[in-house]
């Protein structure tokens, strides 16, 4: 057991989003783990969001993959690794190096990434290694490289505090990067009424919770942001707020960029974006008048067939005004994943080498080959994620190793990915979970370390490197991802190059490579402070922002005084034309995204009952006019279909949606829903430069999903859902909750319930309680064994009207004997129904909040004082504000 494990409280880093919050994890004697925010970590200063707060709920070993498996049977590490080495070697020998691939993840640590890249690019001889970060921020990487010559994030989080104007575009920061958002709101509140107020502008087709908190919301049509920022560039030129001295000294391409936006007067922009002319004017005037402005962008910009152009149009605006690299100024890409940045740094994308070196540059290749002692360094870029799986599908790639990601759920055209893996001759999957949609297709499944067991580093969106430290022992035979790769490399004859004493030795080697890269010319990514870093220093490493040179201070901003990483050290403004907008009255533009309390494909957050309570089903959000036109009301089920796939989703009707647009979250999988994999609907179309998929603009049709019976169930065992055309399963504290619908009414409701609960109907001692009304089609059926409720199911012809949170509360309470109340499905007098969870951190339901409002608490702070809601991470405060608005709005008569 290492030093970290002997300590009761271990400082580590949250494994979810790119904010990269510091966490203090405590392992208690009873095996439970509690977490709190690290007050000393500069990214969060002690704050955590609901997901970070619930990390302790996610570290159990239920469902973990704990030993290697070959063809579904347990195997030793030596058997599994030797098989991988021989199959990869044989495939390369027969079909060449480009017939094999690695597909990795922003979840793995920088040291894992580094070793994976080194093996495949340097020793196997192909650059066919790509990462799910391709789906997240590849367009930002490409935009940075076009403008700056390298993938450099110029600013720091402090700029959000120092700015007078923060523009959020394509970013639901409130839900996707909550700690950063709360920091922004706190700054705005602190400066309200002062001489320097902070103004928040949100550009998003949806009125998200982020948009609701904005001073100005521009609800643009999807994919019209290039026109909006192009018009802004034109306006800034006309208002004469360019920084001519900065441009003359440090920027090229201004004239071409300006002529490309010449047609974009305000009226044209308003027509293109669908935003009121006066609102466009207001935004442009505000931006022109506010020197300290930061533009934050995220997946809404990146996940587009024009993502790189969008990024460059944003950067153009900042370059022309010289608002870059100075306190409170700059374009700022916020990454989705915890280590997307680390992957970018060590060449996790198929078109890059480690240390920001270029695969297409012979001098760069020579440095890498020499440092690694690489016998056959790849000489050309490999296949990007979507192309890579196309190559699996058409047989060009015959062996693939997938690490820490679930492409059968997360890639666009996900059904095609599933078919590709099913047909691939050799699939290896390293994962923490025994059963994911992707592990199902593994010939070899390797048990990986989960958060809490891993040791290494991650880099957040502001270039800050932090340690993830182990505070739990490795369970079963689980081993680090870097170790798995290194062992295969050794079995392929490369023992010397992969003989690492630990993750510190990998960082030391990577740091040496950044030093060698400096011999080629000025570099941004300087980690020479970590050359030969000993284990003890690595263990104690505090969060540090790069550059981290061997001498001189680390961190800071880039480009205030130019110094770009192009041959002439000037930045490039890129001439960007707005693409023609499409409209089609028969289909909807599907925007995919995230919900507040889930992370990616829910393999971790789905383990937490608290996090599953906020939104328990996959859903499609529609504007009320569209819902009416389609004959849909809230809680109906809808079939959503594209040219690529289909999903069945619960209908949410919200005027925050633009007419003609639909929104669906991407978290649900084949394990958690019958047809909830919304990426099956998404087009595999990608940006031509970055290869990033256009995940926010699939064309879909929406129609009612006809069901004969709707149901809600609570079960102790995982419910048996086979054959149900619609279901969504989630965790409660002591079992599972299930929403479902079926095409036919069960002929024998008790037999149906027994199958759902996973029990034998005739089990001795099993006591069945039934309330069945054949005329209305309503039924409630419960099974008890030795006084404990094994399961309860509610059936109806319409969506079941049961107070979910109340039922879950009774079901989870071991002392509860209120079967009658549970069968009734709603609270009687003397019972408390918390209602749908609003505050996940403190478990506060909507009924407690509306009760507080009714009692006269008409502010978010007041509701917080009365109920606790919103007083921890703050992510639910916008929702509380909306409940207050709804309750206090004048009622029409
Ligand atoms: Fe984790 Fe939340 Fe911080 Fe993101 S904002 S790193 S999810 S605690």
* Integer Cα distance of 695 and 681 in angstroms: 9
* Residue 1: per-residue pLDDT: 42
Determine which residue's CA is closest to atom 4 belonging to ligand 1: 17
In the structure, how many helices (H) and strands (E) does the chain have? 32, 34
Best probe residue, ligand 1, of 36, 48, 106 (max atoms within 8 Å of C-beta): 48
> Residue 893 pLDDT > 50, yes or no?
no
54 CA to centre of ligand 1 in angstroms: 11
* Residue 129: per-residue pLDDT: 97
* Integer Cα distance of 219 and 228 in angstroms: 11
Best probe residue, ligand 1, of 39, 47, 49 (max atoms within 8 Å of C-beta): 49
CB 179 less than 6 A from any atom of ligand 1: yes
What's the whole-model pTM score?
0.94
* Residue 581: per-residue pLDDT: 67
* Residue 515: per-residue pLDDT: 97
- Span 147-160, pLDDT tens digits: 999 999 999 999 99
- Judged by average pLDDT, the poorest of 467-481, 534-548, 802-816 is 802-816
473 CA to centre of ligand 1 in angstroms: 24
Query: In which residue are the tokens 């689980």 written?
Result: 478
Read off the tokens for 203. 């550009």
Full strand arrangement of the beta sheet holding 788-796: 726-731, 736-742, 709-715, 788-796, 778-785, 766-773
Query: In which residue are the tokens 């971790």 written?
Result: 604
CB 710 less than 6 A from any atom of ligand 1: no
Best probe residue, ligand 1, of 12, 13, 15, 16 (max atoms within 8 Å of C-beta): 16
Best probe residue, ligand 1, of 43, 52, 182, 594 (max atoms within 8 Å of C-beta): 52
> Residue 7 pLDDT > 60, yes or no?
no
598 CA to centre of ligand 1 in angstroms: 11
Q: How confident is the model at residue 891 (pLDDT cuts 50, 70, 90)?
A: very low
Q: How confident is the model at residue 111 (pLDDT cuts 50, 70, 90)?
A: very high
3-state secondary structure of 245: helix
Determine which residue's CA is closest to atom 2 belonging to ligand 1: 49
- Span 327-339, pLDDT tens digits: 999 999 999 888 9
- Quick one: average pLDDT of 34-47? 96
CB 416 less than 6 A from any atom of ligand 1: no
CB 44 less than 6 A from any atom of ligand 1: yes
Q: Which of 655, 650, 658 lies closest to 591 in space, CA to CA?
A: 658
CB 51 less than 6 A from any atom of ligand 1: yes
- Span 159-173, pLDDT tens digits: 999 999 999 999 999
Query: In which residue are the tokens 């690595």 written?
Result: 538
- Quick one: average pLDDT of 730-746? 94
Best probe residue, ligand 1, of 13, 17, 605, 874 (max atoms within 8 Å of C-beta): 17
Best probe residue, ligand 1, of 14, 464, 600 (max atoms within 8 Å of C-beta): 14
* Residue 381: per-residue pLDDT: 97
14 CA to centre of ligand 1 in angstroms: 6
CB 35 less than 6 A from any atom of ligand 1: no
* Integer Cα distance of 211 and 665 in angstroms: 18
> Residue 605 pLDDT > 70, yes or no?
yes
Q: 659: left (phi > 0), else alpha (psi -120 to 50), else beta?
A: beta
What is the atom index within ligand 1 of the atom nearest the CA of 52? 8
Greater model confidence, 861 or 280: 280
CB 178 less than 6 A from any atom of ligand 1: yes
Cis peptide before 547 (omega within 30 of 0): yes
* Residue 4: per-residue pLDDT: 44
* Integer Cα distance of 568 and 562 in angstroms: 11
Burial of 228 (0-12, 13-18, 19+ CB in 10 A): buried
Q: How far is CA 831 from the centre of its chain?
A: 38
Which string of b and e fits 677-714 if b means at least 16 CB within 10 Å? bbbbbbbbbbbebbbbbbbbbbebbbeebebebbbbbb
CB 16 less than 6 A from any atom of ligand 1: yes
117 CA to centre of ligand 1 in angstroms: 27
- Span 810-819, pLDDT tens digits: 998 866 667 8
CB 653 less than 6 A from any atom of ligand 1: no
Q: What is the gyration radius of the CA atoms in the chain, in angstroms?
A: 27
Q: Which long-range contacts (CB under 8 A, 24 or more apart) does 269-277 make?
A: 269/227, 269/228, 269/230, 269/231, 272/221, 272/224, 272/227, 272/578, 272/581, 273/218, 273/220, 273/221, 273/224, 273/227, 273/228, 274/219, 274/220, 274/221, 274/224, 274/658, 275/218, 275/219, 275/220, 275/228
Best probe residue, ligand 1, of 47, 56, 160, 177 (max atoms within 8 Å of C-beta): 177
Q: Which of 487, 603, 434 lies closest to 67 in space, CA to CA?
A: 434
CB 19 less than 6 A from any atom of ligand 1: yes
* Integer Cα distance of 338 and 329 in angstroms: 24
3-state secondary structure of 312: helix
343 CA to centre of ligand 1 in angstroms: 18
* Integer Cα distance of 172 and 240 in angstroms: 32
- Judged by average pLDDT, the poorest of 105-114, 711-720, 875-884 is 875-884
Determine which residue's CA is closest to atom 3 belonging to ligand 1: 21
Q: How close are the terminal C-alpha atoms of the chain, in Å?
A: 70
CB 883 within 8 A of CB 859: no
Phi, psi dihedrals of residue 743, rounded to the nearest 5°? -80, -20
Q: Are β-strands 9-13 and 22-27 bridged in parallel, bridged antiparallel, or unpaired?
A: antiparallel
> Residue 3 pLDDT > 60, yes or no?
no
Helix (H) or strand (E) holding 161: helix 158-162
CB 48 less than 6 A from any atom of ligand 1: yes
Best probe residue, ligand 1, of 179, 458, 543, 596 (max atoms within 8 Å of C-beta): 179
Read off the tokens for 257. 């960029």
CB 18 less than 6 A from any atom of ligand 1: no
* Integer Cα distance of 458 and 106 in angstroms: 9
Q: Which of 780, 765, 860 lies closest to 822 in space, CA to CA?
A: 780
- Quick one: average pLDDT of 590-607? 87
Read off the tokens for 215. 């001073």
Query: In which residue are the tokens 């932090």 written?
Result: 466
CB 431 within 8 A of CB 404: yes
> Residue 6 pLDDT > 60, yes or no?
no
* Integer Cα distance of 289 and 561 in angstroms: 22
12 CA to centre of ligand 1 in angstroms: 12
Query: In which residue are the tokens 């179309």 written?
Result: 685
Greater model confidence, 865 or 614: 865
* Integer Cα distance of 615 and 613 in angstroms: 6
* Integer Cα distance of 425 and 800 in angstroms: 45
CB 337 less than 6 A from any atom of ligand 1: no
406 CA to centre of ligand 1 in angstroms: 21
* Integer Cα distance of 54 and 48 in angstroms: 9
783 CA to centre of ligand 1 in angstroms: 40
> Residue 892 pLDDT > 60, yes or no?
no
CB 52 less than 6 A from any atom of ligand 1: yes
What is the atom index within ligand 1 of the atom nearest the CA of 180? 5
* Residue 883: per-residue pLDDT: 87
* Integer Cα distance of 890 and 498 in angstroms: 69
- Judged by average pLDDT, the poorest of 37-51, 117-131, 342-356, 839-853 is 839-853
Q: How confident is the model at residue 890 (pLDDT cuts 50, 70, 90)?
A: low
- Quick one: average pLDDT of 90-108? 97
Indicate the average pLDDT of the chain: 94
Greater model confidence, 616 or 446: 446
Q: How far is CA 141 from the centre of its chain?
A: 17
CB 21 less than 6 A from any atom of ligand 1: yes
Cα distances from 239 to residues 200, 289, 454, 471, 486, in angstroms, run 21, 9, 53, 56, 58
The DSSP output letter for 658 is P
3-state secondary structure of 23: strand
Q: Are β-strands 73-74 and 698-704 bridged in parallel, bridged antiparallel, or unpaired?
A: unpaired
159 CA to centre of ligand 1 in angstroms: 19
- Span 563-584, pLDDT tens digits: 999 999 999 999 998 887 666 7
Phi, psi dihedrals of residue 54, rounded to the nearest 5°? -90, 10
- Quick one: average pLDDT of 766-777? 92
873 CA to centre of ligand 1 in angstroms: 10
- Quick one: average pLDDT of 666-694? 93
């Amino acid at each position: 057991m290492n030093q970290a494990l002997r300590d009761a409280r271990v400082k580590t880093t949250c494994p979810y989003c790119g904010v990269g919050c510091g966490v203090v994890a405590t392992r208690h004697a009873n095996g439970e783990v509690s977490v709190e925010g690290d007050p000393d970590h500069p990214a969060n200063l002690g704050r955590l969001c609901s997901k970070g707060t619930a990390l302790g709920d996610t570290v159990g070993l239920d469902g973990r993959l704990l030993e290697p498996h070959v063809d579904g049977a347990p195997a030793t590490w030596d058997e599994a690794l030797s098989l991988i080495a021989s199959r990869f070697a044989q495939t390369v020998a027969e079909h060449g190096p480009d017939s094999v691939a690695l597909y990795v993840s922003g979840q793995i640590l920088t040291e894992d990434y580094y070793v994976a890249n080194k093996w495949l690019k340097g020793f196997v001889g192909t650059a066919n290694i790509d990462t799910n970060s391709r789906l997240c921020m590849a367009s930002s990487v490409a935009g940075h490289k076009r403008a700056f010559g390298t993938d450099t994030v110029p600013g720091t989080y402090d700029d959000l505090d120092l700015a007078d104007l923060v523009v959020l575009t394509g970013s639901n920061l409130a839900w996707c990067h909550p700690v950063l958002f709360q920091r922004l709101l706190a700054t705005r509140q602190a400066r309200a009424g002062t001489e320097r107020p902070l103004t928040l502008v949100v550009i998003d087709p949806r009125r998200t919770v982020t948009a609701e908190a904005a001073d100005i919301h521009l609800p643009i049509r999807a994919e019209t942001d290039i026109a909006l920022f192009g018009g802004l560039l034109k306006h800034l030129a006309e208002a004469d707020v360019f920084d001519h001295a900065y441009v003359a000294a440090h920027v090229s391409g201004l004239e071409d960029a300006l002529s490309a936006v010449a047609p974009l007067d305000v009226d044209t922009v308003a027509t293109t974006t669908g935003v009121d002319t006066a609102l466009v004017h207001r935004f442009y005037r505000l931006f022109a008048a506010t020197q300290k402005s930061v533009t934050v962008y995220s997946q809404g910009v990146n996940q587009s067939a024009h993502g790189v152009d969008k990024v460059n149009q944003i950067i153009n605006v900042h370059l022309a005004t010289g608002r870059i690299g100075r306190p409170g100024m700059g374009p700022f890409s916020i990454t989705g994943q915890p280590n997307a940045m680390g992957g970018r740094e060590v060449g996790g994308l198929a078109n890059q080498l480690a240390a920001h070196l270029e695969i297409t540059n012979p001098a760069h290749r020579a440095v890498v080959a020499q440092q690694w002692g690489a016998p056959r360094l790849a000489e050309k870029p490999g296949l990007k994620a979507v192309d890579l799986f196309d190559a699996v599908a058409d047989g060009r790639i015959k062996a693939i190793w997938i690490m820490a990601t679930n492409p059968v759920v997360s890639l666009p055209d996900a059904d095609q990915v599933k078919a590709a893996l099913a047909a691939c001759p050799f699939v290896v999957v390293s994962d923490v979970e025994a059963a994911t949609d992707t592990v199902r297709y593994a010939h070899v499944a390797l048990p990986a370390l989960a958060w809490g067991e891993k040791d290494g580093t991650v880099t957040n969106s502001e270039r800050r490197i932090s340690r993830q430290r182990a505070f739990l022992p490795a369970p079963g035979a689980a081993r680090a991802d870097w170790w798995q790769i290194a062992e295969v490399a050794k079995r392929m004859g490369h023992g010397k190059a992969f003989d690492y004493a630990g993750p510190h030795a990998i960082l030391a080697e990577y740091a040496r490579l950044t030093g060698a890269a400096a011999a080629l010319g000025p570099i941004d990514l300087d980690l020479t402070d970590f050359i030969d870093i000993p284990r003890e220093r690595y263990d104690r490493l505090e969060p540090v922002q790069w550059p981290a040179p061997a001498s001189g201070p680390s961190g800071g901003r880039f480009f205030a005084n130019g110094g770009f990483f192009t041959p002439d050290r000037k930045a490039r403004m890129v001439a960007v034309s707005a693409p023609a907008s499409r409209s089609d009255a028969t289909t909807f533009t599907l925007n995919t995204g995230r919900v507040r309390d889930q992370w990616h494909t829910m393999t971790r957050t789905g383990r937490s009952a608290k996090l599953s309570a906020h939104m328990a089903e996959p859903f499609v959000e529609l504007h009320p006019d569209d819902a009416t036109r389609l004959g849909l009301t809230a809680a109906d089920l809808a079939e959503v279909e594209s040219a690529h796939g289909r999903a069945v989703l619960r209908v949410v009707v919200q005027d925050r949606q633009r007419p003609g647009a639909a929104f669906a979250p991407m978290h649900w999988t084949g394990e958690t829903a019958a047809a909830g994999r919304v990426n099956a609907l998404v087009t595999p179309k990608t940006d031509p430069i970055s290869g990033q998929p256009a995940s926010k603009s699939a064309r879909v049709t929406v129609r009612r999903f006809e069901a004969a019976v709707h149901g809600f169930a609570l079960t102790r065992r995982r419910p048996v859902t086979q054959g149900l055309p619609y279901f969504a399963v989630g965790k409660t504290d002591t079992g599972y909750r299930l929403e479902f619908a079926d095409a036919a009414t069960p002929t024998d409701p008790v037999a149906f319930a027994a199958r759902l609960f996973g029990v034998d109907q005739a089990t001795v001692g099993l006591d069945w309680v039934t309330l069945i009304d054949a005329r209305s089609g309503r039924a409630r059926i419960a099974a008890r064994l030795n006084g404990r409720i094994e399961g309860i199911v509610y059936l109806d012809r319409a969506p079941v009207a049961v107070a979910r949170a109340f039922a879950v509360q009774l079901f989870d309470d071991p002392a509860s004997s209120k079967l009658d109340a549970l069968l009734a499905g709603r609270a009687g007098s003397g019972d408390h129904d918390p209602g749908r969870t609003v505050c996940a951190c403190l478990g506060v339901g909507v009924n407690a909040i509306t009760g507080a409002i009714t009692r006269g608490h008409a502010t978010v702070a007041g509701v917080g004082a009365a109920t606790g809601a919103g007083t921890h991470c703050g992510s639910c405060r916008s929702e509380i504000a909306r409940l207050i608005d709804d309750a206090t709005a004048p009622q029409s008569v």
